[in-house]
């Protein structure tokens, strides 16, 4: 398995999630050509790169949403790319959490219902789901708007709600795709501070896709992706 070659990142014995040499093209345009990324428990890795460089595609491959054409994604004992859809879905429900920039909160559901959604999808009972959701809403400081619907709250509150939802099922890995993309600096800062604090406390690994250096600075490590391939870090100049 090819691991990230960076010597200075936290060298955990075993990364919890590791994608290696991933290739994927949409039609004639290659989106990923040899991208690799691994993340250890409790580690936050920022994936940066210009738009169209393939950073979201890499995230989707790692999360089992997209299937790469070649390469593998190891999670625990599994190669995610070899799992059937049903199991990948189950993995996303139970082991992964997601924060996206767009269209993630269900507009018909209230904030607390949105937060409890992954638990309900996983078959957790109504009361239990509510209780656990309440905990995370408090942690993310959105308890006050529990009865509101996504249309009635601010962008920052929405993203904090999304973070609470991503964490509610005690995931092993949280995937965050431009979580502050539509927020102003302060709101973005709040979201990122809470996300990184919580991830650190709960030893949750975070894969953070962003194009903003200030956001990437919340991560422990940065992986730059350019033209669909991740850049090796610390390679000596010839």
Q: Which parts of this chain interact with another protein (CB under 8 A)?
A: 50, 60, 65-66, 85-86, 89-94, 96-98, 100, 102-104, 106-110, 113, 117-118, 120-123, 125-126, 149, 151, 165, 193, 197, 212-214, 216-220, 222, 224, 226, 231, 233-238
- Of 20 and 44, CB closest to another protein: 44
- Of 14 and 109, CB closest to another protein: 109
- Of 134 and 224, CB closest to another protein: 224
Tokens read off for 149:
């619907």
CA 194 from chain centre, in angstroms, equals: 14
Report the nearest approach of another protein to the CB of residue 219 (Å).
Answer: 7
Report the nearest approach of another protein to the CB of residue 138 (Å).
Answer: 20
- With helix as H, strand as E and coil as C, how does 1-27 read? CCCCCCCCCCCCCCCCEEEEEEEEEEC
Tokens read off for 188:
């973005």
Rounded Cα gap, residues 89 and 84, in angstroms:
9
Give DSSP secondary structure letters for 112-161.
HHHHHHHHHHTT--HHHHHHHHHHHHHHTT-GGGTT--GGGS-HHHHHHH
Report the nearest approach of another protein to the CB of residue 214 (Å).
Answer: 5
- Of 15 and 118, CB closest to another protein: 118
């Amino acid at each position: 398995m090819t691991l990230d070659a960076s010597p200075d990142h936290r060298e955990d014995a075993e990364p919890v999630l590791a994608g290696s040499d991933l290739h994927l093209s949409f039609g004639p345009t290659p989106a990923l050509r040899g991208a690799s990324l691994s993340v250890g428990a409790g580690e936050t890795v920022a994936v940066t790169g210009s738009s169209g460089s393939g950073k979201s595609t890499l995230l989707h491959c790692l999360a089992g949403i997209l299937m790469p054409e070649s390469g593998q994604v190891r999670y625990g004992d599994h190669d995610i790319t070899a799992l059937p859809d049903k199991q990948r879905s189950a993995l996303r429900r139970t082991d992964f959490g997601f924060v996206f920039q767009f269209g993630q909160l269900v507009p018909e559901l209230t904030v607390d219902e949105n937060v409890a959604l992954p638990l309900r999808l996983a078959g957790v009972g109504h009361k239990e789901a509510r209780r656990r959701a309440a905990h995370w809403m408090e942690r993310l400081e959105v308890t006050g708007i529990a009865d509101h619907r996504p249309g009635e709250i601010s962008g920052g509150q929405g993203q904090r709600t999304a973070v609470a939802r991503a964490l509610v099922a005690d995931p092993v890995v949280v995937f965050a795709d431009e979580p502050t993309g539509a927020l102003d600096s302060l709101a973005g800062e709040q979201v990122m501070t809470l996300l990184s604090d919580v991830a650190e406390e709960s030893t949750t690994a975070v894969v953070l896709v962003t194009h903003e250096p200030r956001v990437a600075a919340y991560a422990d490590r940065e992986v730059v992706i350019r033209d669909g391939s991740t850049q090796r870090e610390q390679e000596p100049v010839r």
